[in-house]
Amino acid sequence: MKKIILFAIVLSMLGLNFAKESEKVPNFLLNSLSGQVVSLDSYTANKDVSFLVFFTSWCPWCTKQLETFQEMSKETSAKVQYVAIGFDNDKKKVIGKINSIGVTFPVVMGTSEISEYFKVSGIPVTVVVDKKGKVIDQVVGFRDKKYFSKFIN
């Protein structure tokens, strides 16, 4: 019975419908950790590729994904952008997590609007956006540096 349930879960994950790859990502307005309203485009415009990572402070795989992107951010050019999108109810927990990792790229608080658009149903979720603002990949769960490096020219 456990094998059947596991198989059903895997099949449902394979059939997840994410944001349409042919659509330009809307210019969502989000709150920065300092409380300023910022547009997603202010971070992603004029970048060859952007990585949007949806996370929570209590998720160990989210921590690992943020650490991976922090490492990558030190090695990639200014034409690559990383944006962390926190989904904790308590902004202080997000700030604590970001500070403990030493994240230096932009971090914003998520909204139901952006999570619904990207159909976030688990965490971490990483969305890869090209220079035209279109989704070129979206994955649920942790992926290593090698996986994401293929999107960087």
Question: Which residues are CB-neighbours of 139 under 8 A, at least 6 positions away?
Answer: 125, 126, 147
Residue 112's φ and ψ, nearest 5 degrees, are: -65, -30
Domain locations along the chain: 2-149
pTM: 0.85
Q: pLDDT by residue (tens digit) across 107-118?
A: 999 999 999 999
Q: pLDDT by residue (tens digit) across 55-99?
A: 999 999 999 999 999 999 999 989 999 999 999 999 999 999 999
Question: Which residues are CB-neighbours of 79 under 8 A, at least 6 positions away?
Answer: 47, 48, 49
139, burial (CB in 10 Å: exposed 0-12, middle 13-18, buried 19+): middle
Q: pLDDT by residue (tens digit) across 4-59?
A: 333 333 333 444 445 556 678 999 999 999 999 999 999 999 999 999 999 999 99
Matching CATH number, 2-149, of 3.90.1170.10, 1.10.287.70, 3.40.50.620, 3.40.30.10 = 3.40.30.10
Strand partners, 29: 39
SS3 state of residue 66: helix
